[in-house]
A = this chain, B = another copy of it.
Amino acid sequence: MTPPGGEAALAERLLGGDRRALARAITLVENDDPLGWAIVREVYPRTGRAAIIGLTGPPGAGKSTLVAELTKLDRARGRSVAVLSVDPSSPFSRGALLGDRIRLSDHFLDPGVFIRSMASRGALGGLSETALQVALLMDASGRDTVLVETVGVGQAEVDIIDHADTVVLVLMPGSGDSIQALKAGVMEIPDVIVVNKADHPLADTMVREIRSVLALAPRSGWQVPVLRTSATSGEGVAELLATLDAHRERLELEGALEERRRRHLRREVLALALQRLRRDLEAALAADPELDRLLERVVARELDPRTAAAGILESVQPRSVDAGSDRGA
């Protein structure tokens, strides 16, 4: 589709803010096309300027509506916005999510807003790595704000959100499990917590519960604000935007932004390397019937899983196994 050398022209247009070039580059990255990765390589030195804001929280908390409202206010003050909605859920939920997307459609005609959805592409596990590369492309295209939105329910590592400068956890009245997960330390404390659907009678209780959980883990420095919003009416969203600005200012003043990004980038490099290893391994398994026989011996309880794993690595990458530590057993 793109001619050889076309990535330089595409990268140039992307850097100039061309929406179609951005859309095209994202598709290439999503399709794992070498041209896509070449474009990321090309534009990477021009990244790092956007404010990357991650929104996570349980399904149904109203993240998409909140993103739409934040986008509206950010646009009103003249900033350009890109939105990346990542949906790792099953096909079974499509209907519900479509409703969320419709809320973003107010912005479809605004050239200052770029919206993209990504769904899980199966078991390769590359979703979060691809999402991070897409965020880099959005950043390089000159967007002032990049909003990354994904579902997360109490997991310590919501990898997709890991790249954000500011992480917002969006809860709603009834989010008991998330509160428990925060309390138990299963979920990391975010930078900002929002209780959406604030007109619900249990919203006050929820805010109190969150504050008492936060009090258990006192932090020096940034104190995690707990805000109330009603995304459908827009109530509280201006305050949220001001809080996001304040968090960013704080990060920049303290030099913490650079430190945070350093940590994120190192983690991302490692994740990308592992993703590559995983793919190579899966490709080798698919190509070699001998390896399938090895797996069948595990099923027959003749060969234990770990020995089979070592056997597979040995036939795929002899060096890796020689470096292993349990050869002496």
Interface residues of A (CB under 8 A from B): 7, 32, 34-35, 37-38, 40-41, 44-45, 47-48, 58-61, 88-93, 96-97, 132-133, 136, 151, 153-156, 172, 174-178, 180-181, 183-187, 216-217, 261-262, 265-266, 268-270, 272-274, 276-278, 280-283, 285, 294-295, 298-299, 301-310, 312-313, 317-321, 323-329
Q: Which of B47, B96, B184, B306 contacts A93 (CB 8 A)?
A: B184
Interface of A is mostly: helix
18 contacts between A and B (CB under 8 A): A32-B326, A34-B327, A41-B304, A41-B329, A136-B304, A153-B153, A153-B178, A174-B176, A174-B177, A265-B305, A266-B295, A269-B295, A272-B306, A272-B308, A274-B277, A277-B320, A280-B323, A320-B320
Shortest 8 CB-CB distances between A and B: which pairs? A153-B154, A90-B185, A174-B176, A34-B329, A59-B184, A44-B304, A272-B309, A177-B177
Interface hub of A177, A266, A308, A324 (most chain B Cβ within 10 A): A177
Q: Which of B41, B154, B185, B326 contacts A91 (CB 8 A)?
A: B185
Chain B minimum-CB-distance residue to A153:
B154
Q: Are B326 and A184 in contact (CB under 8 A)?
A: no
Residues from chain B with Cβ under 8 Å of A278 in the complex = 274, 277
Residues from chain B with Cβ under 8 Å of A89 in the complex = 156, 184-186
Residues from chain B with Cβ under 8 Å of A277 in the complex = 274, 277-278, 281, 313, 320
Q: Are B180 and A60 in contact (CB under 8 A)?
A: yes
Chain B minimum-CB-distance residue to A299:
B262
Q: How far is the CA of A319 from the CA of B321 in the complex (A)?
A: 13
Residues from chain B with Cβ under 8 Å of A269 in the complex = 294-295, 298, 305, 308-309, 312
Q: Are B175 and A329 in contact (CB under 8 A)?
A: no
Q: Are A217 and B180 in contact (CB under 8 A)?
A: no
Q: Are B41 and A306 in contact (CB under 8 A)?
A: yes
Q: How far is the CA of A7 from the CA of B329 in the complex (A)?
A: 9
Given contacts A156-B88, A186-B153, contact A281 B273 (CB under 8 A): yes
Q: Are A324 and B280 in contact (CB under 8 A)?
A: yes
Q: How far is the CA of A170 from the CA of B267 in the complex (A)?
A: 33
Residues from chain B with Cβ under 8 Å of A216 in the complex = 92
Q: Which of B38, B45, B153, B309 contacts A155 (CB 8 A)?
A: B153
Given contacts A185-B90, A268-B305, A281-B270, contact A177 B156 (CB under 8 A): no
Chain B nearest Cβ from A68, distance in angstroms: 19
Q: Which of B92, B176, B294, B317 contacts A320 (CB 8 A)?
A: B317
Interface hub of A304, A305, A313 (most chain B Cβ within 10 A): A305
Q: How far is the CA of A37 from the CA of B304 in the complex (A)?
A: 9
Q: Are A96 and B272 in contact (CB under 8 A)?
A: no
